[in-house]
Structure 1
Amino acid sequence: MNKAAKIYVAGHRGMVGSAITRLLAANGYQNILTRTHNELDLLNQEAVNEFLSVEKPDYIFIAAAKVGGIQANNIYRADFIYQNLMIECNLIHGAYQAGIKQLTSLGSSCIYPRNCPQPIKEEYLLTGPLEQTNEPYALAKIAGIKLCENYNRQYGTQFISLMPTNLYGPGDNYDLNNSHVLPALIRKAHEAKIRNDSQLIIWGSGNPRREFMHVDDLARASIMLMEQNYDGPFVNIGCGSDLTIKELAQEVVSVVGFKGQLQFDTSKPDGTPQKLLDVQKINQLGWKAEIALRPGIQDAYSWFLQHIAPSLYS
């Protein structure tokens, strides 16, 4: 990518979009295009088409999405499938109509079957039933992959799909009703420490295994593949190792400094038993995750203390 190329980052205020925007700027890209939701509603096809036809960015990163944890996915099922489908359809079709050849669409590892062989290879897509708690979101992200694949096939575009594992880091969502497990654990552990609680209650059995990657590593992969003009099939992005939710909770409380006991509420859903991505393809393309879990959690907690914690007690 030319350093002066016009690059549109959709969802630049979110965790993923802000990480991509920061890294683009740090790498010397001078013409980064962004719009807030108030300035451009990505659910509005006419508005998206007008924006892309006028601005004509050289590259697009689709980091905009409606996201959340198990509870949010399970409650707002219609919102998750509708909004994510519309964002993808409007931006991918709009890019094609505006003559934009290169685009990266970011998905999620939840696209794979619930009981997938581990580690999960890209070819396992659509080989079994999805996890029911997040099926609407997963279906929307699968549609995004197929949109990119088929626009490339029919129109000769170069639209890339990346499937990252569970992400965390600066800019994460710490709303306990909608957040993912790692930021939820950080907030719960912090508040329990402030209250001097004797125990911390955690949803589920603690037995499911999950892989966690710092969002800055995903940003590196996203930009690297765009710079390399990668035009192959969709690719997993992960760190290649996992741990149980119990082990994650132990790591979080150690970083936060909570001294009480962990209690697991088995009446709450566990979700998929294991989600570990096979990352051989992206490793062979020259990328590996660099940020280890503990320093990554320390970085996330520092951001939480600076940006979220003050508002909780104001």
Structure 2
Amino acid sequence: MELNSRIYVAGHRGMVGSAIVRQLKASGYTNIITRTRNELDLTNQKAVFDFFRTENIEKVYLAAAKVGGIVANNTYPADFIYENLMIQCNIIHAAHLADIQKLLFLGSSCIYPKLATQPMAESALLTGELEPTNEPYAVAKIAGIKLCESYNRQFCRDYRSVMPTNLYGPNDNFHPENSHVIPALIRRFHEAKLNGDKEVVAWGSGKPMREFLYVDDMADASIHVMNLSNEVYKENTQPMLSHINVGSGIDCTIRELVETVAKVVGFEGSINFDVSKPDGAPRKLMEVARLNDMGWSSTVGLEKGLSLAYQWYLNNPLDLREA
């Protein structure tokens, strides 16, 4: 990819989109196009088509999405499926109409069945029932994959898809009610340290295993996949199985995660696990052999990534941490 290519990053204020912008700039790319939600409503088809028609964009990173935790997904399922479908359909079709050949769509590991064999390989897609709590969001992300595959088949486009594992890092959501596990733990331990608490209680037994990836690693992987030659990409994918898992390939128990967050934050009290609370699935791990074969693997270990995430939390105002 030429360093002066006009690159549009949709969702540049989100955790993943902002990381892609950081990585692109660090790699020397100088012509990055962004728009805030107020400047461009991605659910408005005409606005998106007009934007693509006039901006002479050459490459697209589609990181924009409506995201949220279990409570939000359960409360607003129609919002999650509608907004994500509209964003994806508008951007992908507008890119095609503007004759843009290169696009990267970012999905989610929730596309895989609730009871998928571990580790979850790309071939597990559409082989079983989805997790009910976030099924509308997952269906939208599956549709995004199939949109890319369909435009490739019918119009010979080069639209690629990457599916990340659980992400964390700068610009994460640290809201006390709707954040994911790592930002929630960072905030809980930080506040416990400030308050002089002697104990922090974590939900569940601590035995389930989960995989986590620092978001700048995800951004690096996204740029790597976008820049792969057609020969390498097609050698490791199939027309109807084109998406690529992105993860560290390493998981840990929730107990190990909790203890590592406490260490990074500097909380010196005790940690107790409330076994009356649900554990969820016993394990969720991505199979990342295909991406490794294409020349990419993660470089930021969990403790280092947590330290970087905690420093970002400390260095940014509350309204940005809870965005």
TM over 0.5: yes
SS of the equivalent of 2:287 reads: coil
Give the TM-score taking structure 1 as reference length. 0.95
Q: Once the 2 structures are TM-superposed, how far is the Cα of residue 153 of structure 1 from its aligned partner? A: 0.7
Q: Once the 2 structures are TM-superposed, how far is the Cα of residue 208 of structure 1 from its aligned partner? A: 2.4
Once structures 1 and 2 are overlaid, which stretch shifts more, 233-242 or 191-200? 191-200
**Cα contact 1:133–1:271 (8 A) shared by 2:** no
Change (3 A) 1:141 1:310: closer
Report the counterpart of residue 54 of structure 1 in structure 2. 54
Unaligned regions of 5+ residues in structure 2, if any?
none
Q: Once the 2 structures are TM-superposed, how far is the Cα of residue 43 of structure 1 from its aligned partner? A: 1.0
SS of the equivalent of 1:183 reads: helix
What is the correspondence of 1:83-102 to structure 2 with a 5 Å cutoff?
83-102=83-102
Report the counterpart of residue 265 of structure 2 in structure 1. 256
SS of the equivalent of 1:211 reads: strand
Determine the C-alpha separation between the residues in 1 that align with 2:75 and 2:201.
21
Report the counterpart of residue 25 of structure 1 in structure 2. 25
What is the correspondence of 1:197-212 to structure 2 with a 5 Å cutoff?
197-212=197-212
User: How far does the alpha carbon of each residue in 1:52-78 deviate from its partner, in whole angstroms, 9 at most, with x for none?
Assistant: 111131000011111122333233222
Q: 1:237 aligns with which of 230, 246, 262?
A: 246
Among the aligned pairs, what percent are the same residue? 57
**Cα contact 1:115–1:273 (8 A) shared by 2:** no
**Cα contact 1:210–1:242 (8 A) shared by 2:** yes
Q: Once the 2 structures are TM-superposed, how far is the Cα of residue 308 of structure 1 from its aligned partner? A: 4.0
Q: Once the 2 structures are TM-superposed, how far is the Cα of residue 176 of structure 1 from its aligned partner? A: 2.0
Report the counterpart of residue 300 of structure 1 in structure 2. 309
Determine the C-alpha separation between the residues in 2 that align with 1:177 and 1:260.
23
Once structures 1 and 2 are overlaid, which stretch shifts more, 238-247 or 202-211? 202-211
Change (3 A) 1:311 1:109: closer
SS of the equivalent of 2:162 reads: strand
Determine the C-alpha separation between the residues in 2 that align with 1:310 and 1:78.
27
User: How far does the alpha carbon of each residue in 1:134-187 deviate from its partner, in whole angstroms, 9 at most, with x for none?
Assistant: 211111111111111111111111110100100111111111222111111101
**Cα contact 1:131–1:272 (8 A) shared by 2:** no
Change (3 A) 1:74 1:207: farther
Determine the C-alpha separation between the residues in 1 that align with 2:201 and 2:74.
20
Give the TM-score taking structure 2 as reference length. 0.92
SS of the equivalent of 2:307 reads: helix
Determine the C-alpha separation between the residues in 2 that align with 1:185 and 1:280.
30
Q: Once the 2 structures are TM-superposed, how far is the Cα of residue 127 of structure 1 from its aligned partner? A: 0.8
Unaligned regions of 5+ residues in structure 1, if any?
none
Q: Once the 2 structures are TM-superposed, how far is the Cα of residue 195 of structure 1 from its aligned partner? A: 1.0
Determine the C-alpha separation between the residues in 2 that align with 1:134 and 1:248.
23
Report the counterpart of residue 13 of structure 1 in structure 2. 13
Change (3 A) 1:9 1:111: same
Once structures 1 and 2 are overlaid, which stretch shifts more, 300-309 or 266-275? 266-275
Matched, 1:289 2:265: no
Matched, 1:154 2:163: no
Q: What RMSD over aligned residues (CA atoms) do the two structures have, in Å?
A: 1.7
**Cα contact 1:131–1:271 (8 A) shared by 2:** no
SS of the equivalent of 1:72 reads: helix
Q: Once the 2 structures are TM-superposed, how far is the Cα of residue 235 of structure 1 from its aligned partner? A: 0.4
Report the counterpart of residue 117 of structure 2 in structure 1. 117
Q: Once the 2 structures are TM-superposed, how far is the Cα of residue 98 of structure 1 from its aligned partner? A: 1.3
Q: Once the 2 structures are TM-superposed, how far is the Cα of residue 269 of structure 1 from its aligned partner? A: 4.4
Once structures 1 and 2 are overlaid, which stretch shifts more, 241-250 or 194-203? 194-203
Report the counterpart of residue 133 of structure 1 in structure 2. 133
SS of the equivalent of 2:49 reads: helix
**Cα contact 1:114–1:131 (8 A) shared by 2:** yes
SS of the equivalent of 2:146 reads: helix
**2:291 partner amino acid:** I
Q: Once the 2 structures are TM-superposed, how far is the Cα of residue 80 of structure 1 from its aligned partner? A: 1.6
**2:259 partner amino acid:** Q
Change (3 A) 1:155 1:183: same
Once structures 1 and 2 are overlaid, which stretch shifts more, 115-124 or 193-202? 193-202
SS of the equivalent of 2:174 reads: coil
SS of the equivalent of 2:163 reads: strand
**Cα contact 2:171–2:320 (8 A) shared by 1:** no
Determine the C-alpha separation between the residues in 2 that align with 1:291 and 1:174.
21
Report the counterpart of residue 289 of structure 2 in structure 1. 280
Once structures 1 and 2 are overlaid, which stretch shifts more, 204-213 or 135-144? 204-213
Report the counterpart of residue 2 of structure 2 in structure 1. 2
SS of the equivalent of 2:64 reads: coil
Once structures 1 and 2 are overlaid, which stretch shifts more, 117-126 or 132-141? 132-141
